[in-house]
Amino acid sequence: MNATIEEVTTWLEQQRWFGGKGVPISKVEVLERIPIQSASEAEVEIVRVSYVLGSLETYLVLLQRMADGSLRDALEDPAVARGVLSFARDGRQVPLGSGMVRSETIGRGGELLAALPPEPAVRALGVEQSNTSLVLDERVLLKILRKLEVGLSPEVEVGRFLATHGYRSTPQLLASLTLEGPSASELALLYAFVPNQGDGWAYLTDALRKAHEPDREVLRRLERLGTRVGELHRVLASDPADPAFAPEPIHQEDLQRWSSSIVGELGVTLSKASDRFPELAERQDALTERAKALAAVAPSGQKIRQHGDLHLGQALWTGDDWMVIDFEGEPTRPYAARREKHTPLRDVAGMLRSFSYAAAVAAVPPAARRRSVGAAKTAFLQGWRAAVEGTGLLPASIEDTRVMLDVLELEKTLYELRYELQMRPDWAHIPAEGLA
C-alpha cells in the first residue's frame, strides 16, 4: 500500500502510544519493512522519528489502507494479529536489510501456541497503554511493543527469570519476536492470557466512588496485593548466582546518587510546570531538602531488580487473587536505566502513589481522602512487609524505611507531573496537588 512519509507522520501523532506528542518533528524515515503474511494487506514498518531538538525515537507501526484512502492501525484487522501469531508459532526467521526478525518460544510456549486453532478469535484488550495488546482465543495475549529500544528488553529478561524461578502470580511468557542486528530490539511478546475481572485501578476507583472510605473487603484485597508484590521482590532477590539479578548491598554512594538524581528531576519538573502551576515554585526549597534527606540515611538493606513501573494498573484481579503484569519499566527511561538495581521500596512508592491517584480520580473529598489513602497504604504495606520479612531487603530501621519511602514517593510524583503535562494535561493537577 506504500503509505507516504507525510501520512505516517500525521497518523503517528494521533496515536495514544506515541511518546512525542507536542514535540516538533523534523523527519520520519522508514528503517525496515517487515513481511508479515496475513489474509489482509498491511504494512509493518520500523520508523525513526527525529525531533527538531535533535532527539531520536524508534517505533513499530502496523498500517492498513481503508477504502476511503485513510490509514488505520492494521491491528484493528484480526487477520493481521493472526499473521503475527503464525510468525511466532512457526518459529520463523526473516532476513532484513541490516539483520533479521526471529521468533522464539519460551518454556512450554510452543506447545501452548500450537494448541490454538488456525484462525483464533481476536479482540482488543481495550485499555489505555503505551503498547497494543490483543487477546487470541481467550488463551493468549499478544503484546505489540510500540516504542522500540535497542538492547535487552527488561520485560523479556524479567519474564524469563520469573518463569524459571517459581513466581506464579504473573502470566507466563510464551514467545517473543525480536529484531536482531545493529538495532536489536524486541517487537512483540506473547503471554498466557489470564481471565480477570479488571485491573486494580478500575477496582479501587470504583470502590472509592461507591464508598469514600474502603471497607474491610477492599483493605483485605489490598493487603493481599502487598503480599503478592512482596513475593515478587523475594523471588527477584532469590538467585545470587545470576549477576543480572543477584541482590547487592545498598552503599552510601547509591543513596547520594539517588538523592542527587531526584533533586535534579525536581528542578526540571518545576521548571516545566511553572506556567501551569506557578505556586509550586514556593515549594522547591522544602522539597529539595526532603529529597536530600535520602543521602543522609545510613546505608542498609539491598538493591535488586524490580518491576520498575508498579501501580494499580499493573495488577489484575482474577476473582480470588492478584496477578502482576508488565515488567517493561517506565517507558520514558532507557533500557539501561530500567535494568538498574534499586531498593524495592521504589516499587512500593509507585503503588502507594497510585492509591492517592485513585482517590483523586474517584473525587473523594479531601478529609475522607486522607483517611482512605492512609488505610489503603497501611493495608498494602502490611502484606508487603510480611512477605519480605527476613530477606535483608529492608533498611535497618523503621525510621530509615519511612524516609526512603517518603523521598521515593516524591520522585514518583515528579515523574507523574512530567508525564501528565505532556500526555494528559487535564490530569496534571493530581500530582501537582501532591507536591503542594
Residue-wise DSSP of 345-384: HHHHHHHHHHHHHHHHHTT--HHHHHHHHHHHHHHHHHHH
The predicted pLDDT at position 34 comes to 87
Type of residue found at 162: L
Q: Is the per-residue pLDDT at 1 higher than 70?
A: no
Mean of pLDDT values over 337-351? 96
Is residue 34 within 8 Å of residue 12, measured between CB atoms?
no
Confidence of residue 21 (pLDDT cuts 50, 70, 90): confident
Assigned C-alpha cell, 53: 531538538
Q: Is the per-residue pLDDT at 35 higher than 70?
A: yes
- Residues paired with 32 in a beta bridge: 46
Percent with pLDDT over 70 in the chain: 98
Compute φ and ψ for 175, nearest 5 degrees: -165, 165
The predicted pLDDT at position 253 comes to 97
The predicted pLDDT at position 127 comes to 66
Q: Is the per-residue pLDDT at 392 higher than 60?
A: yes
Mean of pLDDT values over 302-320? 96
CA torsion, ordered 410, 54, 281, 330, to nearest 10 deg: -10
The predicted pLDDT at position 150 comes to 86
- Closest by CA position to 343, among listed 383, 312, 311, 297: 297
- Rounded CA separation 360/427 (Å): 10
- Closest by CA position to 20, among listed 117, 116, 147: 147
The predicted pLDDT at position 23 comes to 87
Confidence of residue 188 (pLDDT cuts 50, 70, 90): very high
Instruction: Say which residues have a Cβ less than 8 Å from residue 134's Cβ, sequence separation at least 6.
Output: 75, 81, 122, 123, 124, 125, 141, 142, 144
CB atoms closer than 10 angstroms to residue 263: 17
User: Alpha carbon of 427 to those of 129, 418, 431: distances in Å?
Assistant: 16, 11, 8
Q: Is the per-residue pLDDT at 99 higher than 90?
A: no
Mean pLDDT is lowest, of 1-10, 59-68, 229-238, 320-329, for: 1-10
Mean of pLDDT values over 148-171? 90
Mean pLDDT is lowest, of 23-27, 55-59, 92-96, 253-257, for: 92-96
Q: Is the per-residue pLDDT at 128 higher than 90?
A: no
Q: Which helix (H) or strand (E) holds 112?
A: helix 109-114
pTM flag (> 0.75): yes
| Residue whose grid cell is 493481521 | 80
Mean of pLDDT values over 221-227? 98
pLDDT in tens, 234-277: 999 999 999 999 999 999 999 999 999 999 999 999 999 999 99
Q: Is the per-residue pLDDT at 39 higher than 60?
A: no
pLDDT in tens, 346-355: 999 999 999 9
User: For the chain, what percentages of helix, strand and coil (3-state, to nearest 5) are there?
Assistant: 45, 20, 35
- Rounded CA separation 203/212 (Å): 13
The predicted pLDDT at position 152 comes to 83
Mean of pLDDT values over 132-154? 92
Instruction: Using DSSP bridges, classify how beta strands 56-65 and 43-51 pair: parallel, antiparallel or unpaired.
Output: antiparallel
- Scanning 211-310, the segments in alpha helix (DSSP H) are 216-236, 252-272, 284-292
Report the interhelical angle of 284-292 vs 398-423 (nearest 10°). 130
Mean of pLDDT values over 421-433? 93
| Residue whose grid cell is 506528542 | 21
Type of residue found at 120: P
The predicted pLDDT at position 77 comes to 93
Give SS3 for 185.
strand
The predicted pLDDT at position 167 comes to 93
Q: What angle do CA 64, 68, 70 make, to 5 degrees?
A: 45
The predicted pLDDT at position 433 comes to 93
Mean of pLDDT values over 131-154? 92
Phi-psi region of 390 (alpha: psi -120 to 50; beta: other; left: phi over 0): left
Confidence of residue 218 (pLDDT cuts 50, 70, 90): very high
The predicted pLDDT at position 94 comes to 87
The predicted pLDDT at position 97 comes to 79
